[in-house]
Amino acid sequence: MTRFYLYLLLLLCFPSQALTVHQLISDGVVLQRNQPIPVKGTTNSQYVSLWLNDKKIETISTSDNQWIVTLPPQPAGGPFTLTIKADEERVINDVYFGDVYLASGQSNMELTMARIEEAYPDDVNDANLPLVREFTVPDTYRFDAENSDYVEGQWLQATPENIRQLSAVAYYFARHLHLSENVPIGIINAALGGSPIEAWMAKSSLKPYPQDIAAGEYYANPDNIKTTKESERKAQDDWYKNVNANDKGLQGTSWFSPELNDGNWQNIDMPGNLPGFNSGFAGVWWLRKHVHLNDIPDEPVILRLGRIVDADEAYVNGVKVGNTTYQYPPRRYTVPKSALKKGDNIIAIRVISNGGNSGFITDKPYFLGTDEEHSVSLEGTWQYKVSHQTSNTPSSTFIRWKPMGLFNAMIAPAAGFPLSGVLWYQGESNASRPADYSDKLTAMMELWRSRWQQPSLPFFIVQLTNFMQRQSEPVESSWAELREQQAKASNTPNTALIVSIDIGEWNDIHPVNKREVGRRLALAAKNMVYQRDVSYQGPKVLSVEHKDNRIVLTFDSELDKARIEGDLDHNFAAAGMDDAFFWVKATVNGNQVYLQHPSINKTVKLRYAWGDNPAASLYNREGLPVAPFELIVSH
């Protein structure tokens, strides 16, 4: 069949749709109450009419196959039916009016309820809020122009069938607001893991950064995308083929086999890192452990392996029970009952390291059983053996993270649909280069407000949480600098900083306590959007002064002594003209903190909770933490 006749056949079988409606205006949509709503799409017809239930809103003439009808402001409520009539008819069912928020950023915003179910099972099992709804924007990018619509996507209710797919931060935020304000809450979830802020900015807002514009425009040429992908995919494929072909653990008697004689393997205490490779390891190593079971439970048995760097395959008595291809997700594998036996069981783990440290992350759960209370701990002695060592995995170009790409494809199509606010949780991917983050975030917020034609659109910025090892001495920290940049950007009008310095995890860039992040975001929205008299931020410094050989910090509200655990000695650091920081002793009295140190009179800089994972003990009586800060001390 020639290409021409194939094309004719496709047209006959799949005729073009004469009437389209923007993907956001689809079944189950939540539209912003009390605001005019643009309802738009394309059609071959000359006229389009819009109906809300049985009431005709307007009939308009189309232009260049485009149409847009403005739906007048509506109070909260529903369900309604939107009907669009042209040469054909489209009906949008289950429409509600409420408050709509755009949730954007990187993986901590994207992280779903499924990822935190282990920590908050009741929140998942009991979720049944059909008037909390989320539209998850498809992950895609574009560099040559802005998209006007999404190719797919649907509104999902926060019900048992859907809850695991929803953003955890956005769900907890929406749940709080829905229950307190008694209105439908819609979330447009446009977030992508690993994305830097530049990907969410338009070309116009990147004018001060020509190198960023050039980096994005390079991929406006589809040939450059194709060439980059093909060459890097081949290099990656060749690396993994080489690893698999040379992995001794997959040759002869497989190293996951229960029959393997592992008597010559070395012992290792787990969790921990592969020893003997201080400069990093790339390749494959295996671990084995004997586990004794007195009985086989009737309920599902879980092999819980915390987190593993980088990729793993897990076997129980020779049966593969799961695998994960990169380091961040928690390992939670269901073991078939048929794979277990009374007495001795063999657990074998194949670990692939792409280069660098490799191992089991500490302070994570490791067990075999139904849950941690009814299980066999897997911490302790394992046996291990390296099966293949090679060069580091070839690097990858994450094209989807390049400047402008995500704005053009994931943000621009939603511009113009009225919002109550924006939730912004991003910064980890910019933490290694924090210097210009405030300027870029401020420019991005200005751009988004302009594109939505909402100059006072509230932005709620989630500040980076605590992460990585806590240091025993004051040190410089790019994460602390990024937090300071976020705080600076939050000083713009109608912007709030959501402090999370106390609810992270030192060993996980994706901490599970999204419930508290959502609650603190909701507090800010109650104050700024709903004008409720609620506190949403911790105490702020009003003044700093020298007094009687000490520094006195005065805050705008009382500090809660009950929340201060131990001393505050490692909360505050001071430095003189040489920028060498030292810890200073701190005591609290009401809304003041007194700082003392023999060198305090020479202090010119003062820092609180400054570090990747700093001690941060100051709260107000509502349990909200003081934000990290750096101050210049005048003499």
Q: What mean pLDDT do residues 93-115 have?
A: 98
Determine the pLDDT at residue 231: 95
Q: What mean pLDDT do residues 259-287 have?
A: 96
| pLDDT tops 70 at residue 12 | no
Determine the pLDDT at residue 3: 44
Confidence of residue 334 (pLDDT cuts 50, 70, 90): very high
Distances (CA, A) of 261 to 254, 258, 340: 10, 8, 20
Give the CATH architecture of domain 541-632.
Answer: Sandwich (2.60)
Provide, rounded to the nearest whole percent, the portion of the chain with pLDDT above 70: 97
Q: What mean pLDDT do residues 366-374 have?
A: 87
Q: What mean pLDDT do residues 619-627 have?
A: 95
Q: CATH says 248-389 is which class? A: mainly beta
- Closest Cα partner for 22 from 87, 88, 53, 68? 68
The rounded distance, in Å, linking the Cα atoms of 600 and 581 is: 11
The rounded distance, in Å, linking the Cα atoms of 617 and 580 is: 23
Paired residues of 320 in beta bridges: 315
DSSP class per residue in 104-123: EESHHHH-BHHHHTTT-HHH
pLDDT tens across 187-215, in order? 999 999 999 999 999 999 999 999 999 99
- Closest Cα partner for 92 from 151, 51, 35, 42? 51
| pLDDT tops 60 at residue 553 | yes
Determine the pLDDT at residue 567: 76
Distances (CA, A) of 159 to 127, 177, 197, 522: 6, 16, 32, 20
| Cβ atoms of residues 422 and 448 within 8 Å | yes
Determine the pLDDT at residue 16: 47
Lowest mean pLDDT among 68-72, 522-526, 565-569: 565-569
Determine the pLDDT at residue 562: 79
Q: What mean pLDDT do residues 563-590 have?
A: 90
pLDDT tens across 451-466, in order? 999 999 999 999 999 9
The rounded distance, in Å, linking the Cα atoms of 630 and 574 is: 9
Integer-rounded Cα Rg, in Å, for the chain is: 28
Q: What mean pLDDT do residues 229-251 have?
A: 97
| pLDDT tops 80 at residue 304 | yes
Q: The whole model's pTM is what?
A: 0.95
The rounded distance, in Å, linking the Cα atoms of 396 and 393 is: 9
Determine the pLDDT at residue 546: 87
Confidence of residue 634 (pLDDT cuts 50, 70, 90): confident
Question: Angle 494-496-499 (CA atoms, 0-180°, nearest 5)?
Answer: 175
Q: Give domain 98-201+406-532's CATH superfamily.
A: SGNH hydrolase (3.40.50.1110)
Secondary structure of residue 60 in the 3-state scheme = strand
The rounded distance, in Å, linking the Cα atoms of 379 and 197 is: 39
| pLDDT tops 80 at residue 14 | no
- Closest Cα partner for 400 from 391, 410, 390? 410
pLDDT tens across 460-517, in order? 999 999 999 999 999 999 999 999 999 999 999 999 999 999 999 999 999 999 999 9
Confidence of residue 371 (pLDDT cuts 50, 70, 90): confident
pLDDT tens across 138-168, in order? 999 999 999 999 999 999 999 999 999 999 9
- Closest Cα partner for 426 from 106, 51, 86? 106
DSSP class per residue in 377-431: E--EEEEEEEEEE-PPPPP---GGGSTTHHIIIIIGGGTTS--SEEEEE--GGGT
Report domain extents, the chain. 98-201+406-532, 248-389, 541-632
The overall average pLDDT reported for the chain is: 95
Confidence of residue 39 (pLDDT cuts 50, 70, 90): very high
pLDDT tens across 411-461, in order? 999 999 999 999 999 999 999 999 999 999 999 999 999 999 999 999 999
